[in-house]
Structure 1
Amino acid sequence: MIVDVHAHVGDQPFDCEVGDLAVTSAVLDRHGIDCQLVSHTEAIFYDAVAGNRALAGLLPREPRLRGMVVIDPRRLASARRDLRDLLGAGFVGVKIHPPLAHVPIAAPEMRAALELVAEHDVPVLVHTWGEDLLDLAGVVAELPGLRAIAGHMGGPAWRLVPEAAARCDRLWFEPSLSRAPGGRVRWVRDRIGVDRLLFGTDATLTDPASALGAVEAARLPADELAAVLGGNARRLFRL
């Protein structure tokens, strides 16, 4: 079973084939993805509340999708309402994009947002890019019970994953990148094992072929491959 923990629906301000739910369904068909955890691009780029509600209307139309509630660390009252109303109604986790919210991971507002997520006992996918990967590990370590995923596992700073993993055992790593260096997934696996490695694609911004190729290139044993492609995510999200 393949579970993609990092994907999107809705229009994006980039030159790629997005927007129509039919595109998402076709991508799932083409790559054999059984379950995809998605956030709405309107929620990430513009209006978290409006985008979350738009996604709630789309989820019943594609049974392979599960929702991620986007929360804005600057608007925690709205975030609290969305978590209360949407979690359990097709939504299984939370997404936070610090750069687009203009709130660094180390900022007090981000800590407050992550504390709110911890209250609801669901995983949170946080966009990381650079040394903020270590900032995320530090904050999660200080918040008992919080389970977090480092989206893109630091992007160009992916070699910091072993240090981040050592700082906190409740931090998972999702390695999607549009242009990923060869051998990256295997390098991380050889240093931290596979239990905290997840599969994500950043679809439909990026075609899943890139992420699938990166995992295939790692040449993992069959049991480890199954864990990365879906088993770890099923346990983390209690799917």
Structure 2
Amino acid sequence: MIIDAHCHVWPDEIARKVLADRPVGLDPVHDGTLDGLRRTMDTAGIDMAMTLAVANVGRTVRRTNEFIGRVDRSRFVPFGTVHPDLSVEDNLAALRDNGVVGVKLHPLFQSVAFADARTREILAALAENDIPVIAHVGSGGDADQNERGAPKSLAAMIAATPGLRLIAAHYGGYQVLDEAERWSVGTDVHLETSWPPSMGTLPPDRVMSIIRRHGADRVVFGSDWPMTDPATEIAAVKALGLTSEEERGVLGDNLARLLRIEPPATA
């Protein structure tokens, strides 16, 4: 079973506008729509994907969660949005009312900082309600954006939020792998493998060292669709030299366990 932990989606008309602006300076390779993601998954042999939707401002939290809450649950796991401009209660209600099972935090696009007391208050509530979170960690923006999601602040946030099921995207430090190895590797999080434009640009020996030090059972596959092609990213994972058990875990079993997804029955 292959599960992609990192797929950004938007309503069709919004996807065109967002991707035309080349978010974080990358060239998208797919269209950012739900139909486009389903076609990509079928081509790459992906069984399920976490579909991520992010509200940059508080006033769009509810309608963003309404959109993501309507996805096909047989293929997609809806991860919606929260925002510190809203109360904890309003954020939880926007998730609950739309059946959204998890949250994406994106410090590059939201005014969300790991060190902010408002963010930590929301995360404490998510932990209390057993709602998992995936967060962009590391760089990709300007100095203020990068500081909001710095690996050092992630480590402190995790220490202050016991019980939070958190996936740290990009090995816990996009574009700042030295910081990721210092502050994210070995912490009580699941690391995710995406590294646009491709994980294949990273030295395989270094990636293997990170996975083994962190624990291969706490690493999950993510592509960062539509900014990368998942088939290429799956091939990069398979080329690392993991054991067959480790490879199955990274590509799907670990995430299924974290999200409590029952694998399909085998004959």
Residues 78-116 of structure 1: CA deviation (Å, up to 9, x unaligned): 312112223xx3x33111112211232111122112112
> Are the aligned partners of 2:65 and 2:95 in contact in 1 as well (CA < 8 Å)?
no
Following superposition, the deviation at residue 166 of structure 1 comes to 6.3
Tell me which of 124, 129, 136 is aligned to 2:138: 129
Aligned equivalents of 2:229, 2:185: Cα separation in 1: 31
Structure 1 residues 113 and 161, CA, compared in 2 at 3 Å: closer, same or farther? same
The answer on whether the counterparts of 1:95 and 1:125 sit within 8 Å (CA) in structure 2 is yes
Pick from 168, 171, 190 the counterpart of residue 150 of structure 1.
168
After TM superposition, give the deviation of residue 164 of structure 1 in Å: 3.1
* CA positional deviation for 1:208: 1.0
Q: Cα distance 1:44–1:177, how it changes in 2: closer, same or farther (>3 A)?
A: farther
Match of residue 107 from structure 1: 116
User: What one-letter code is carried by the residue in structure 2 that aligns with 1:54?
Assistant: F
CA contact (8 A) 2:186 2:213 kept: no
The SS at the match of 1:18 is coil
Unaligned ranges ≥5, structure 2: 140-146, 262-267
Distance 1:37 1:127 in 2: 14
Deviations 1:166-222 (CA, angstroms, capped at 9, x unpaired): 6632x1111201133231431312322202111111112321134213312211010
In 1, Cα distance between the equivalents of 2:76 and 2:186? 32
Tell me, in whole angstroms, the C-alpha distance in 2 between the residues paired with 1:74 and 1:181: 37
- 1:206 paired with 2:228, answer yes
Aligned partners of 1:18 and 1:205 also within 8 Å: no
Aligned pair partner of 2:80 in 69, 73, 83:
69
Post-superposition CA distance 1:146-179 (Å, at most 9, x none): 121111121122234443356632x111120113
Normalised by the length of structure 1, the TM-score is 0.87
Whether the 8 Å contact between 2:52 and 2:80 is mirrored in structure 1 is yes
Q: Give the equivalent residue in structure 1 for 2:60.
A: 47
Cα deviation, residue 29, structure 1: 0.4
Q: Structure 2: how far apart are the matches of 1:190 and 1:206?
A: 25
- In 1, Cα distance between equivalents of 2:232 and 2:56: 23
Task: State the shift of 1:47 in Å.
Answer: 2.5
Q: Map 1:162-181 to 2 at 5 A.
A: 162-165=181-184, 168-169=187-188, 171-179=189-197, 180-181=201-202
Give 1:40 deviation, angstroms: 2.6
Matched residues in 1 for 2:62 and 2:207: separation?
35
Q: CA offset at residue 223 of structure 1? A: 0.4
Alignment size in residue pairs: 232
Residues 64 and 80, structure 2, Cα contact 8 Å, conserved in 1: no
Structure 2 counterpart of 1:140, from 155, 158, 161: 158
Residues in 1 aligned to 2:75 and 2:56: alpha-carbon distance in whole angstroms: 21
**Unpaired runs of 5+ in structure 1?**
none
In 2: Cα distance, 1:236 partner to 1:155 partner: 22
* Root-mean-square deviation over aligned CA pairs: 2.2
8 Å CA contact 1:93, 1:237 repeated in 2:
no
Q: State the TM-score, normalized to the length of structure 2.
A: 0.79
Equivalence for 1:8: 8
Q: Conserved in 2, the CA contact under 8 Å of 1:69 and 1:82?
A: no
Aligned equivalent of 1:20? 33
8 Å Cα contact 2:194-2:222 kept in structure 1: yes
2:92 aligns with one of 77, 80, 100: 80
2:203 and 2:31 map into 1 onto residues whose CA distance is: 27
Shift of 1:53: 0.7
Partners of 2:239 and 2:86 in 1: CA distance: 41
Question: How far apart, in 1, do the equivalents of 2:106 and 2:260 lie?
Answer: 23
Identity of aligned residues (%): 33
Q: Deviations over 1:47-80 (max 9, x none)?
A: 22212111223x13x6211100211122234312
* Matched residue type, 1:133: P
